[in-house]
Amino acid sequence: MAGWVLSECGLKPLPPIFARPRIGALVSYNPSKVRFLNTNKSRGGCSIKQRGCELRVSAPLRVFPIEEEDDDVGVVNEGDDEFDAGAPPPFKLADIREAIPKHCWVKDPWRSMSYVVRDVVVVFGLAAAAAYINNWFVWPLYWAAQGTMFWALFVLGHDCGHGSFSNNHKLNSVVGHLLHSSILVPYHGWRISHRTHHQNHGHVENDESWHPLSEKIFKNLDTITRTLRFTVPFPMLAYPFYLWSRSPGKTGSHFHPNSDLFVPNERKDVITSTVCWTAMAALLVGLSFVMGPIQLLKLYGIPYWIFVMWLDFVTYLHHHGHEDKLPWYRGKEWSYLRGGLTTLDRDYGWINNIHHDIGTHVIHHLFPQIPHYHLIEATEAAKPVLGKYYREPKKSLPLPFHLIGELIRSMKKDHFVSDNGDVVYYQTDPKLSGSSKSK
């Protein structure tokens, strides 16, 4: 099953894209070059000495995009009748940052905690109501609602991992562990790999989440793996397998402190998260003896898999499925800005508020330190700068059923990219698409 998980490549260091951290990193500071001390020669990383809190939870690393990194500012699209999404944009990251109101960067821990309280109350309220009514008409409604709420909890923990929950690293870590462990996600293990995704978004080899397969890797997949990877709903069940084992040819688990996903100074963090995950798993086993495995399956097991489907569904569609082909980059053509501009905003109707506007994804990818409750305003402010590089999402009905069609169409045509070239686009395997020739 590991052949169809999310990532196909390891963590190779790219040209520096982040400004000097505010804590603990050893930096040889040059506005165009930032290097972190790397104690593991197999991959890039940071050596950070962090202090634990009373719960022995380490604080997450904070990194910020560097504004001077966009030396390849282009003018090719200005006045052109035909827009080239793969061309360097005629603006810098600093131009986008300047357009965003200053208050959008302010993190309010009380407001952030209010969302946690809201979601936790809803989760327990739904469980209590379903158990009390215990009707087979109600259970499917409960599974859909509770699975969506599990996904909302994940998004808040995701904010903790980015440091956009608050400026208090200890608070971020404690809340992140509680939220993610409750839905069987190893907080630090995920946080570190997700940081890699943001640092390398849009890079063919170095991105960590739903990046394309090269043509060579794709053609070497066995039939079963290829079918599972590109046939809905199987890809939407990939996340737990991705946590345990990455793709063929790549070692590493989000639970193992010696995984090559991590550098040595991050091992204690990974152990902490794995212990928290194990404690939650043990609690679930204990509850199965108390209430019975069937009741636990109805109250927790099925909502968990609904949550997994939400996670894979949303993360995939933020990087795939646009009606126009979006570029992926290698080598000198890649930059933090150009990679981030290949992400997509999506409208989820009523779900937007429930899952904390995570569909407002372009600005989040460029500036992950902006709190979720400021993303919409920040996006509106940035649109005049982004121009055609911002792709307006299709408006959703109350429930985003239209995105299921986007997913299926993408799975039928977005299969691999060329082994050669620094600006590449998805190509189609006619056997998977059902067409007579590749597009």
Q: How far is CA 44 from the centre of its chain?
A: 20
pLDDT at 12: 37
Q: Confidence class of residue 32 from pLDDT cuts 50, 70 and 90?
A: very low
Least confident of 199-213, 228-242, 245-259, 330-344: 245-259
Mean per-residue pLDDT, 398-421:
95
pLDDT tens figures, 57-92: 444 444 444 444 554 565 545 555 688 999 999 999
Provide the whole-model pTM: 0.82
3 state SS of 148:
helix
First CA to last CA across the chain, in angstroms? 28
Domain boundaries defined on the chain: 2-433
Q: Confidence class of residue 119 from pLDDT cuts 50, 70 and 90?
A: very high
CA–CA gap between residue 419 and residue 245 (Å, rounded)? 24
- Residues 423, 438, 6: CA angle, nearest 5 degrees: 60
Structure tokens at 18: 């982040």
Tally DSSP H helices, then E strands, for the chain: 17, 4
Least confident of 7-16, 88-97, 382-391: 7-16
Q: Confidence class of residue 324 from pLDDT cuts 50, 70 and 90?
A: confident
Structure tokens at 268: 């204690």
- Is residue 258 predicted with pLDDT exceeding 70? yes
**Which is nearest to 341 in space by CA: 385, 288, 281?**
385
Residues 6+ apart with CB under 8 A from 437: 430
Gyration radius from the chain CA atoms? 21
Whole-number average pLDDT of the chain: 84
